[in-house]
């Protein structure tokens, strides 16, 4: 059984060690920290401690021993700590080093431990929390493995937006069971859920802010529990475009879009990826924008964040190929959604006149491409950007 799965919240472990002069000497030889408070008896006699004090990290190093040999043991990587040194430790002190599991994070295979070190008088000398990643024994190259047969499922982030809703209905008609994510518009999410259920497919709704990692992880866990497996992730999340000149912008305008596009994408993909890895297969679709190639005045924060998303997706796409997962992007041109509802009809007609096909896109046009990208027909596409702009740009 997988070691991570064996670990339960509340699991405990402890070890004992008596500090010796030789421990201090070895620590000095290793680190070069020969502070007289630690190594010079005469110096220490004139301090409040009266005798040499062991290095704080010497005592804390036995937390590493506990992690590496007891909880969780082999394959543990201690990567974060928040320790408080409460009382000094001296030669001859007998230490009891303890840890208890407080939290587990399935998506990152990490656990959080509450640690404590007591001396022979049962006084707490050190306490804190540490984070430990449990490394899998092997990482299998799945490039030549055939994916398991499992049902069609998808998680749609931003399902209450114009494109998100069209993608959801399109996939449901194709036979997908869905988890529909929304941020604030619960009423629309429930309405969409009812439409999908009438089509004879399962649909579950969940709210959350993907800029918050805990929310993203909750979405992933909820989706896995309801769907049984996660085959596809389509991220349609975006923020409203509020046109501003560069002189009117502040950094908060950029940060808002970067958090949504980069931090949000990082969080939700990081949370869902482990479930796809177990299937040796998965499809991730992200939405970028034609405005990167044909910039629009006043859209700078939006365009900059989408440009960053492009780079993020291409770099990640190549990394997750061996895990059987394909990440691709759709780059819509102007599409009839609430995102451009503030643009006057006259301006839309003028824009449509410049498009070779003669009209701006509707959400169904984008949904059709998303359906292709999550299907097996796109298995050979990796890190690609499909431009849905009616012929306005060519690459």
184 and 78 in a single domain? The answer is no
Q: What local confidence, expressed as pLDDT, does residue 185 receive?
A: 93
pTM (predicted TM-score): 0.66
In a domain, 117, yes or no: yes
Per-residue exposure over 326-364, b if at least 16 CB sit within 10 Å of its own CB, e if not:
bbbbbbbbbbbbebbeeeeeeeeeebeeebeeeebbebe
In a domain, 148, yes or no: no
80 and 182 in a single domain? The answer is no
Q: What local confidence, expressed as pLDDT, does residue 47 receive?
A: 87
State the pLDDT confidence band at 1, using cuts at 50, 70 and 90.
Answer: low
Q: What local confidence, expressed as pLDDT, does residue 107 receive?
A: 79
329 and 218 in a single domain? The answer is yes
- Return the percentage of the chain with pLDDT > 90, whole number: 65
pLDDT at 139 over 60: no
Residue 57's domain spans which residues?
3-134
93 and 221 in a single domain? The answer is no
Number of domains in the chain: 2
Q: What local confidence, expressed as pLDDT, does residue 177 receive?
A: 97
167 and 65 in a single domain? The answer is no
159 and 128 in a single domain? The answer is no
80 and 180 in a single domain? The answer is no
Model confidence pLDDT, tens digit, residues 256-290: 999 999 999 999 999 999 999 989 999 999 999 98
239 and 205 in a single domain? The answer is yes
In a domain, 140, yes or no: no
Return the CATH number at 33.
3.10.129.10
Q: What local confidence, expressed as pLDDT, does residue 357 receive?
A: 76
Return the CATH number at 242.
3.40.50.720
118 and 169 in a single domain? The answer is no
Model confidence pLDDT, tens digit, residues 77-129: 898 989 999 999 988 999 999 999 999 998 788 999 999 999 999 999 999 99
* Pairing relationship of beta strands 232-235 and 110-118 according to DSSP bridges: unpaired
State the pLDDT confidence band at 233, using cuts at 50, 70 and 90.
Answer: very high
297 and 330 in a single domain? The answer is yes
User: In whole angstroms, how large is the CA radius of gyration of the chain?
Assistant: 27
In a domain, 39, yes or no: yes
Residue ending a domain, among 134, 166, 189, is: 134
105 and 230 in a single domain? The answer is no
State the pLDDT confidence band at 215, using cuts at 50, 70 and 90.
Answer: very high
187 and 110 in a single domain? The answer is no
Model confidence pLDDT, tens digit, residues 197-214: 999 999 999 999 999 999
């Amino acid at each position: 059984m997988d070691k991570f799965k064996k670990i339960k919240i509340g699991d405990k472990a402890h070890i004992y060690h008596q500090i010796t002069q030789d421990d201090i000497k070895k620590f000095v030889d290793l680190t070069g920290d020969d502070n007289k408070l630690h190594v010079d008896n005469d110096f220490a006699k004139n301090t409040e401690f009266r005798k040499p004090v062991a290095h704080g990290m010497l005592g804390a190093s036995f937390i590493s021993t506990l992690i590496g040999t007891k909880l969780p043991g082999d394959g543990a990587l201690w990567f974060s700590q928040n320790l408080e040194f409460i009382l000094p430790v001296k030669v001859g002190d007998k230490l009891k080093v303890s840890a208890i599991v407080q939290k587990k994070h399935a998506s990152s295979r990490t656990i959080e431990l509450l640690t404590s070190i007591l001396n022979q008088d049962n006084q707490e000398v050190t306490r804190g929390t540490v984070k430990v990643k449990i490394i899998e024994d092997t990482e299998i190259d799945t490039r030549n493995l055939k994916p398991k047969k499992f049902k069609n499922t998808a998680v749609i982030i931003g399902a209450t937006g114009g494109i998100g809703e069209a993608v959801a209905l399109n996939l449901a008609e194709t036979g997908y069971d869905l988890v529909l994510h929304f941020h604030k518009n619960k009423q629309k999410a429930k309405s969409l859920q009812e439409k999908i259920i009438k089509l004879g497919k399962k649909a579950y709704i969940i709210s959350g802010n993907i800029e918050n990692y805990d929310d993203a992880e909750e979405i992933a866990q909820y989706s896995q529990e309801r769907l049984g497996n996660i085959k596809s992730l389509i991220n349609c999340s975006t923020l409203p475009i509020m046109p501003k000149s560069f002189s009117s912008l502040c950094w908060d305008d950029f940060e808002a879009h970067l958090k949504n596009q980069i931090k949000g994408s990082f969080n939700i993909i990081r949370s869902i990826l482990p479930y796809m890895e177990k299937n040796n297969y998965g499809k991730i679709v992200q939405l970028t924008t034609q405005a990167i190639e044909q910039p629009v005045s006043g859209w700078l924060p939006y365009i900059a964040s989408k440009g960053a998303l492009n780079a993020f997706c291409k770099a990640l796409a190549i990394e997750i190929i061996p895990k059987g997962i394909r990440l691709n992007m759709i780059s819509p041109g102007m599409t009839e959604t609430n995102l451009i509802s503030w643009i006057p009809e006259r301006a839309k007609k003028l824009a449509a006149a410049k498009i070779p096909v003669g009209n701006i896109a509707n959400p169904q046009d984008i949904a059709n491409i998303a359906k292709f990208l999550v299907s097996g027909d796109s298995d050979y596409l990796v890190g690609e950007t499909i431009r849905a702009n009616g012929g306005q740009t060519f690459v």
